[in-house]
Amino acid sequence: MSVTLHHLIDNNRAWAAQMERERPGFFEKLSHQQSPKYLWIGCSDSRVPANEITGLDPGEVFVHRNVANVVVHSDLNALSVIQYAVDMLKVEHIMVVGHYGCGGVLATLRGARVGLVDNWLRHVHDVKLRHRRRLDHLPVAVQEDVLCEMNVIEQVGNVALSNVMQDAWLRGQKVSVHGWCYGLKDGLVKDLGVSMQGPHEVVKVFRNALKRYPRGSSVSGGL
């Protein structure tokens, strides 16, 4: 195994040269400012690249990624990214983007031990427990996809209820939150229909989204 990364540096130089040929002055312009309209909150999975999936250039999307695209109010890293994007960059859209086949979600569903990240995945485990009546009666393969979607929906709610978003909406800033799920098998994004443009929409949108996942009748408890 090579201990150098010269091949990656060579790739970088080739890419930079190609960009400059195709779009002269691109990097010079990019170096002076970033003014993205979008904040992407996604999974760390290497198969889910924000810019390529959305067809956006460098500088057009601000990105935050972690295992299983989780947003919780104790995570100052995520909240700092959201605040900077909303307050300083003035993004117009925040997309929470999960993906089918997410390793973190699958580990949670299967009760697999991964290591230190198990503590982080407790947040996804909480989603699973909260919605167990909507999950337990489904075939395993369907459970996997549904939990990936439900996790996104929950994180959209967490973003919308954060003090950053609540304050932004209170002062009349136009910024929306959306929930998507990306398909590794076909490269397509599914809009989960949980877009929110103000605090008055949060509860209604959240409840309507959950109606798409009927409860089973054999398990008590849960939402």
Catalytic residues: 43, 45, 47, 99, 102
Q: 3-state DSSP call for residue 191?
A: strand
C-alpha dist (Å) from residue 120 to 3, 19, 67, 125, 183: 31, 38, 8, 9, 23
50/45 Cα distance (integer angstroms)? 11
Helix (H) or strand (E) run with residue 52 in it? helix 50-54
Whether residue 76 contacts residue 20, with contact meaning beta carbons closer than 8 Å, is answered with: no
Where does residue 121 rank: exposed (0-12), middle (13-18), buried (19+ CB within 10 A)?
A: buried
**Distance between first and last Cα of the chain:** 51
Q: Residue 144, Cβ neighbours under 10 Å: how many?
A: 18
- Strands (DSSP E) contained in 55-118 are 61-66, 93-99
Rg (alpha carbons) of the chain, rounded to whole number: 19
